[in-house]
Amino acid sequence: MPAAIFRRECLLKIGDLRIDPALDEIVRDGVATKLEPRAMRLLLCLAERPGEVLSVEALLDAVWKDVVVSTDSVYAAVAALRRILGDDPRDPKYIANVPRRGYRLIASVSPWKEPEVLPAPEAPELPGKPSIVVMPFANLCADPQQAYFVDGLMEEIVNALSRIRTLFVIGSGSSRNLKAQGLSPAEAAQRLGVRYILQGSVRRAGDQVRILARLIDSSTDAQVWADRFEGRIENVFELQDGVALGVAGAIEFTVQNAEALRFARRPTSDLESYELYLRALVPFRTYTRAGIEEALKLLRRALDLDPDFALALSLTASCHAIIAQHQWTDDPATHGRAMMEMIERSLRSGSDDPQVLGTAALTYWFHHEITLATRFAERAASLNPGSSFPLLARAVVCVSTGDLTLAEDCLHRSMRLDPLSPNRNLQLGTLASVRLAQRRFAEAASLASEAAQLSIAPTFLGLMASACGYLAEKRAACEALAQLEKLTSVPMAQLAAIMYQRPEHQALFLDGIALARQMPSETQPGMSPDVEADALSRDHDVAAAQRLKIDQ
């Protein structure tokens, strides 16, 4: 093998890593790690021929060409490089060992492209009522693993404030996102279009909790209010309500504290169960198979401790729904039954909780029980009109029933309340389904593409393929179909029936899919000839949709 040609001025992307050969650095999630020069040369040598097996002798010639060393040097260098990359030899993501032959790089390799820096969007106008964003509270706990507890505390305070109808409260997902971008609280308030900022810190030591909170007027940077709340860990829900009531009184003296108190309630009497629920939210929001499965493990433990914990039951139902929808199982029927059992149990113990009711609406929508879905969505939105999620649930159901105007209104309010929500994928995907039904195909394609970048869901890919079919955007349409084929075997008629009840909207979706399938096969990377030959026609899909309706 000839000596490797090292382009030390070129940045590379290997898997999810940014490689800077000139500085001998690898960067993951913004954190840089230095490599020894020979380790970098070894990595570059493998990267020049990705996927190919390079023998130990070839690596010796390329990396140690001017030094006499034994093959042990290669073994040691590969082992050290794997440790830095976080690569498990038993399940490698970067460097694979080929017994008795050598090593090969199995991660993708490409030139590094700096992400496009988009101009900051214009700040929205201030709402007509007092508006507030709750920034992530500082974790002053001795154990950094307690971050989930601090995040959960902040989220419960946001939920408590959202129940006060005289306030406009930004969802917690947006403030987390902006803090992760490095924005100051004042910059975050400007970006989100709110006047007040609530900052705080949480210190937990043993069974004692101390919450420090202060309210800032972002227009003047003046501190409006500050207070300290202390108590035992078993009284954490009362502490949350105390912060919410204190902020409400500082912002607008006419806010009736009794209204917040009327809605204030403990979600569970078992604190360990509550903590397990908070921990489950973290992997759940990855919307990956591994994340959903990890969330289910934590939720099962939570429900073992408190079988009537409505929020944990509701989140468990969502996990089963996602597994069934993505067909991440050989037995989707079992997950479908578990989904329905969990949501019915959650409603028995949380019938007045907007989060539970919103999840119930989405569950019954997924199960094609639209009358129940509509009832729960309307009740969730009426109980907490200042919260993003119930509005999103109502929008999803309205698309299904064909009430596009109301769906669009609910979506705009949901996205205004929580513009950087963890549910942004569903916000964008639902708006894409509205735009497709309105025959605004370019907007539908763009929204579906953005939703699919956040999480690969069959409905998002189907919407993108259908919209691109109408736009004659061959490559995008066919790539979406190819991804959809790899992700799930759900028939197109079933996807249409999940999103739309009205036959004309189903037919519109399926017509776009038919147009995408008619495109030349050479523009369909990843689409096998057998799949292309067996592709259903639009008439067949419509007939299947009608049969599905009759069966229900």
Q: Give 7's DSSP letter.
A: -
Q: Which residues contact 342 (CB under 8 A, 6 or more apart)?
A: 313, 314, 316, 317, 320
Each as own residue / partner, the long-range contacts of residues 64-71 (CB below 8 Å, 24 or more positions apart, any chain) are: 64/38, 65/3
Phi and psi (nearest 5°) for 332? -60, -30
Task: Read off the amino acid at residue 107.
Answer: A
pLDDT at 470: 95
Where does the pLDDT of residue 110 fall: very low under 50, low under 70, confident under 90, or very high at 90 and above? confident
Rounded Cα gap, residues 421 and 173, in angstroms: 4
Residues of the chain with CATH 3.40.50.10610: 131-266
Cα dihedral 249, 251, 252, 258 sign: negative
Percent of the chain with pLDDT over 70: 84
Judge contact between 61 and 1, C-beta under 8 A: yes
Radius of gyration of the chain (CA): 27
pLDDT at 391: 92
Q: Is pLDDT of 386 > 80?
A: no
* Mean pLDDT of the region 528-545: 38
Q: Is pLDDT of 536 > 70?
A: no
Task: Read off the amino acid at residue 264.
Answer: A
- Average of per-residue pLDDT values in the chain: 80
Phi and psi (nearest 5°) for 33? -130, 130
Task: For the domain covering 131-266, report its CATH number.
Answer: 3.40.50.10610
pLDDT at 533: 34
pLDDT at 551: 36
Higher pLDDT among residues 429 and 533, named by residue: 429
Judge contact between 480 and 453, C-beta under 8 A: no
* Mean pLDDT of the region 395-410: 95
The pLDDT tens digits of the residues spanning 312-333 come to: 999 999 999 888 877 788 888 8
Report, in this order, helix, strand and coil percent for the chain, each rounded to 5: 60, 10, 30
Provide the angle, in degrees to the nearest 10, between the axes of the packed helices 404-417 and 424-437: 150
Rounded Cα gap, residues 388 and 80, in angstroms: 47
pLDDT at 1: 41
pLDDT at 26: 86
Q: Is pLDDT of 546 > 70?
A: no
Higher pLDDT among residues 127 and 104, named by residue: 104
Phi and psi (nearest 5°) for 168? -110, 115
Higher pLDDT among residues 30 and 219, named by residue: 219
Judge contact between 361 and 353, C-beta under 8 A: no
Q: Which residues contact 464 (CB under 8 A, 6 or more apart)?
A: 432, 445, 448, 449, 452, 476, 477, 480
pLDDT at 247: 65
pLDDT at 250: 54
pLDDT at 293: 92
pLDDT at 334: 93
Residues of the chain with CATH 1.10.10.10: 12-111
Q: Is pLDDT of 125 > 90?
A: no
The pLDDT tens digits of the residues spanning 151-167 come to: 777 877 787 777 776 67
Q: What angle do CA 113, 114, 115 make, to 5 degrees?
A: 110
What is the maximal distance between C-alpha atoms in the chain? 82
Higher pLDDT among residues 335 and 148, named by residue: 335
Q: Is 3.30.43.10 the CATH number for 12-111?
A: no
pLDDT at 267: 64
Q: Is pLDDT of 343 > 90?
A: yes
Q: What angle do CA 85, 88, 92 make, to 5 degrees?
A: 85
